[in-house]
A and B are shown apart, each in its own frame.
Chain A
Amino acid sequence: MPEPVTDLQRINASPTKEFFISMLVRDIPLSRAVIDLVDNSVDGARRLRDSGDFDGLWVRIEVHPTYFRIVDNCGGIPVALARDYAFRFGRPTGAPPDVGSIGQFGVGMKRTFFKLGRRFRVQSTTAISRFTVEIDVDEWITQQSAEGAEDWHFEFKTLEENISVPPEQQGTTIEIERLHESVAESFGMDLFLNRLSPEIALAHSLNLQRGLSVTLNSIPLEYDPMKLLRSEQLQPAFVDHLFDRFGPNPVRVKLYAGVSDRIKEEGGWYVFCNGRLVVKADQTNLTVWGEGERVPKYHPDFARFRGFAFFDCDDSSLLPWTTTKTGVDIDSPVYRAVRQEMIELTRPVLDFLRKVEDERKHREEGDITDTPLATALFTAQPFLVEDLSPSLTFQAPQPPPQPQGPRMQRIQYRKPEDQVEKAKELLGVSTFKEVGEKTFEYYLAYEGGDSES
């Protein structure tokens, strides 16, 4: 029989509120924390519109040195969701999957509250309910149950259920006040806003493309839709997969690889989970780069390369993202398998880009006059990735075969200018290139015997 557990045998492993308030917030940059709240709104939009058409839905973000506010008309948070899950720290097992949601880990929203300030207010209205939660963090820390244990509960300040609310009043407003000093400082700087704006736009470019309107301090976010160059000769790779061994919710994966504008910083792989960008223009081994001889390390010659990986699943816990949504979980079985495929799709694009570069060099050196590969690039048109049709591999034109002839080698050396000028004069030529060629030919003619054969 097991011995009864005495107090002396017990080890305290319970979490502390302080851990959530002060420690967890260090894992995420301020801008990403703000985006976590946009995710929250997008989850509302997804609940509201299965079709993924977000036309007419909006999110308004206000960032000020004294307060932060985010308001949306994306359908609100259902009371049951708020009561049992939305405010819990971590998602309990057995929680019903929030279909195709971005919020998964049960950390994002709370982490952002604590990251930003000491007081927050959530007011949310659905078609049939309305609630308000208002929390002063300092009071919540000291909150204890009747037995003197830490009390982790929040309470609804107001709660109305079984009501009927017209659509224009449905949505969520989150306000955070008593901002931390460093947060207030950042929120007062144009530089922070200038960076936050494209970061949100990029993270949610797919949702913006679907019609969602997002403003930051009243200015609409602009986004660049994801495009790849296509023509009859140039065909991006597009493959899709369905992984369905994880139960009722399959993971759908779409991969695109091709070429786009030549921008060094934007070359690389982009990874999306349920429409949310989690990895931007990756140029490291996290995706495909520097994988032995299969894919070389990223290089400016590959600045035209773009790869897009979209992972979608109704049960978002099956997706390969990290809790901060700023990276992929490289140990995820789905990601490991898909990464192999990404490597395979990347290589042919890089081989093409290398040939384009070789062609450019040959043209500069006067070896060739035609540049069919560059022409193929410049005559191709940008296409939205979702309009592309499946193509198992990247298709591109081949360079024409090089004229048959001996393999050539380049010789380079430096000599004092006056000597070179003298040689030029003696040889009766006008360029340094000719000096090199003529002196070489002269040497071989006298010393090379039958080397001409």
Chain B
Amino acid sequence: MKASHRLINYAVRPAKAVERKIACDIIRNLEPFERVENYRYIGFGSIYFSDFQLFHQSLGISDMASVEKDISNWKRFEFNVPYGCIRLMPGHSNQVLPTLKWDKRCIVWLDYECKLDKKVLADIATFCSRARSGSMLFITLNAEPERILGESPEHQAISRLQVLRDAVGEDKVPRDVKGQELRGDDFAKVCRRIVLDEVAACLSDRSGPLPRQEKLGLSQIAFFLYADDAKMLTLAGVLLETRERALFENCAFSRLPFFRDGETPYVIKAPKFTQKELHYLNSVLPKDTSRCPEVSGIPASDVQDYALIYRYYPSYGEVLLG
């Protein structure tokens, strides 16, 4: 299998780019906990380091660690580190995360390409056992339902359930989940539930001997679905001690238009336009989306979708450098 960075240039996936900028806005709201630039960012930078560049430039975060499992191409990763403040951590996240010190608040983006599995749950458990209150977790997962060619819908459902059980472990799949639910967006909802169950179990263990005021929970603030290629989900939340609830309220995440604290996702759609169309649309936005500008030939739904995320929409062009 080819490494994913050889298949996709992360910077030019529009929905992903939009999500990254939305994440940036979400992170900015952490300010009531402490200056965002004092946070540590832990992510999977690959060779593009798109998230690292954005968060360093826009948020001023300079304590950054990129976990990189592809040790065989180490030199290339080192070469591409865009800023001196980014530490490269060799090894799989399962190996690296337990070696980190977790001595300050952090923003962790577990930006997987893969589907939910035991390794993902292990990283989540590490975050929940170690991270400090006020830390933020993003988890991105492939949420494309399994497709087994040539199987009847009935068998498809059975196979999907079995694949999920094998991937996360029999005991992690809620008993009321049926194979029929593991399709479309519902699969993402089941993944979200399994992730949050794991979070709850770990935090219950960790909180057991702590006084009531110090007990920990994860407050969900975002649940995105998007698809540049495969359907992906991103779940985000803030780890919180009971006594810091007021700080969390001050963050006012719920005022953000993409705030989601339940199982209904916010679907990021990044419709494709020409430069000319973009310029025109931008020139009339922001506007009440119900009265969106009419452009001949462009589907109204695309315009509606764009109106929601136009501030985050990436601009691409061919540039001659150097």
Contact = CB atoms under 8 A, between A and B. Distances in A.
Contacts of B122: 292-294
Interface string A327-348: 0000001101101110111011
A392 B126 contact: no
Which of under 10, 10 to 19, 20 to 34, or 35 or more describes the interface residues of B? Answer: 20 to 34
B72 A243 contact: no
A425 interface: no
Given A245-B211, A292-B122, A336-B205, A392 B101 contact: yes
A345 B208 CA distance: 19
Given A343-B129, A404-B75, A337 B169 contact: no
- Tell me which of A243, A245, A339 has the highest count of chain B C-beta atoms within 10 A of its own C-beta: A245
B206 interface: yes
Nearest to A344: B98
A299 B176 CA distance: 35
B206 A351 contact: no
A401 B74 CA distance: 8
- Tell me which of A246, A336, A341 has the highest count of chain B C-beta atoms within 10 A of its own C-beta: A336
B71 A340 contact: no
B119 A293 contact: yes
B126 A404 contact: no
13 contacts: A243-B209, A251-B209, A292-B118, A292-B121, A336-B205, A336-B209, A337-B205, A340-B205, A344-B126, A345-B98, A392-B101, A402-B72, A404-B75
B210 interface: yes
B208 A344 contact: no
Interface in A135-183: none
A140 to B, nearest CB: 41
Interface of B: 71-72, 74-75, 90-91, 94-95, 98-101, 103, 117-119, 121-122, 125-126, 129-130, 169, 202, 204-211, 214
Interface of A: 243, 245-246, 251, 292-294, 333-334, 336-337, 339-341, 343-345, 347-348, 351, 392-394, 398, 401-402, 404, 407
Nearest to A348: B99
Nearest to B74: A401
A399 to B, nearest CB: 9
A407 B72 contact: yes
Given A293-B119, A334-B209, A404-B72, 15 more contacts: A245-B214, A292-B169, A293-B121, A336-B208, A337-B208, A339-B205, A340-B129, A340-B202, A341-B129, A343-B125, A351-B95, A393-B98, A393-B99, A398-B90, A407-B72
A337 B72 contact: no
B209 A392 contact: no
A347 B95 contact: yes
Please give me the 5 A-B residue pairs with the lowest Cβ-Cβ distance, nearest first.
A333-B208, A293-B122, A245-B211, A293-B118, A336-B205
A128 B247 CA distance: 59
B203 to A, nearest CB: 10
- Tell me which of A294, A393, A402 has the highest count of chain B C-beta atoms within 10 A of its own C-beta: A294
A333 B209 contact: yes
Nearest to B71: A401
- Tell me which of B74, B90, B117, B125 has the highest count of chain A C-beta atoms within 10 A of its own C-beta: B125
A392 B207 contact: no
Contacts of A394: 99
Contacts of A243: 209-210
A161 to B, nearest CB: 41
Given A294-B94, A347-B95, A404-B75, A337 B101 contact: no
Contacts of B205: 336-337, 339-340
B214 to A, nearest CB: 8
Given A245-B209, A292-B122, A293-B119, A402 B94 contact: no
A246 B209 CA distance: 8
B100 to A, nearest CB: 8
Contacts of B90: 398
